[in-house]
Amino acid sequence: MAKFSKIEVLQAMTCTGMVPVFYHKDAEVAKQVIKACYDGGVRAFEFTNRGDFAHEVFAEVVKYAAKECPEMILGVGSVVDPATAALYIQLGANFVVGPLFNPEIAKICNRRLVPYTPGCGSVSEVGFAQECGCDLCKVFPGDVLGPSFVKGLKAPMPWSKLMVTGGVKPTKENLEGWFKAGVTCVGMGSNLFPKDVIAAKEWSKITDLCKGALEIIKEVR
């Protein structure tokens, strides 16, 4: 069951402006990454459903975060079907993110008052998702659509709350482009978690990357 309310989840994403996106098959590595992000100021974290037994890893990190990172809001990403959404909600997911929009997932999430952020690649998809109760939509893939898509969509639909994932980097130039275009927050993956840093278990470097990105977001908003 979700620990945080729908309003609390959306407020955390909006206030911090960044949701790290990460997966690792080793629960101990995932725990350390989450703690490093938490120490860096992150309060909403997306664990992606990408590997075999990913739900088992998620179950472990949820229990860990409840004790070690009490204000961290954990959600699940890469969800494309309602059964998977229901599984993760039962394991404690506070929000569900997907690369595509599936209205059946919206029904599952709405029933439990859990935010569903679907991946949308057109104005019509965003509009349809909003009709189905999706308060925050994911612009995906961001590196293909670009900031101009966000700006163009917000012109006729200024109420839209958007999170972009794909092509987001922890640099002032990149983040300023997205936030000036009108995004509510960004989802950031590999650029926050360099493979060599993970392999060397240099968790403090991840903390520093998170701090730096959040400081830039505060500056460019």
Q: Tell me the per-residue pLDDT of 83-98, one tens digit each, with 9 for 90 and over.
A: 999 999 999 999 999 9
Q: What integer best gives the mean pLDDT of the chain? A: 97
Name the pairing type of β-strands 18-22 and 185-188: parallel
Predicted pLDDT of residue 72: 98
Domain boundaries, the chain: 6-220
Q: What average pLDDT does the segment 2-24 reach?
A: 97
Bigger pLDDT: 49 vs 1: 49
Tell me the C-alpha to C-alpha distance, in Å, between residue 85 and each of 42, 119, 178, 203, 218. 23, 14, 28, 30, 32
What is the residue-wise DSSP string for 96-165? Answer: EE-SS--HHHHHHHHHTT--EE-EE-SHHHHHHHHHTT-SEEEE-SHHHH-HHHHHHHHTT-TT-EEEEE
Quick: pLDDT tens for 105-146: 999 999 999 999 999 999 999 999 999 999 999 999 999 999
The backbone torsions φ and ψ at residue 160, rounded to the nearest 5 degrees and listed phi first, read: -65, 135
Q: What average pLDDT does the segment 15-23 reach?
A: 98
39-68 core/surface letters (b: 16 or more CB in 10 A; e: else): bbebbbbbbbbeeeebbebbbebbebbeee
Predicted pLDDT of residue 190: 92
Taking the C-alpha atoms of residue 89 and residue 94, their distance in angstroms, rounded to an integer, is 7
The pair of structure tokens assigned to 165 is 């994932």
CATH code of the region 6-220: 3.20.20.70
Residue 201 DSSP code: T
Q: Is the dihedral of CA 12, 87, 198, 183 positive or negative?
A: negative
Q: What average pLDDT does the segment 19-24 reach?
A: 98
CA dihedral of residues 81, 169, 206, 29 (deg, nearest 10): 30
Confidence of residue 214 (pLDDT cuts 50, 70, 90): very high
Q: What average pLDDT does the segment 187-208 reach?
A: 96
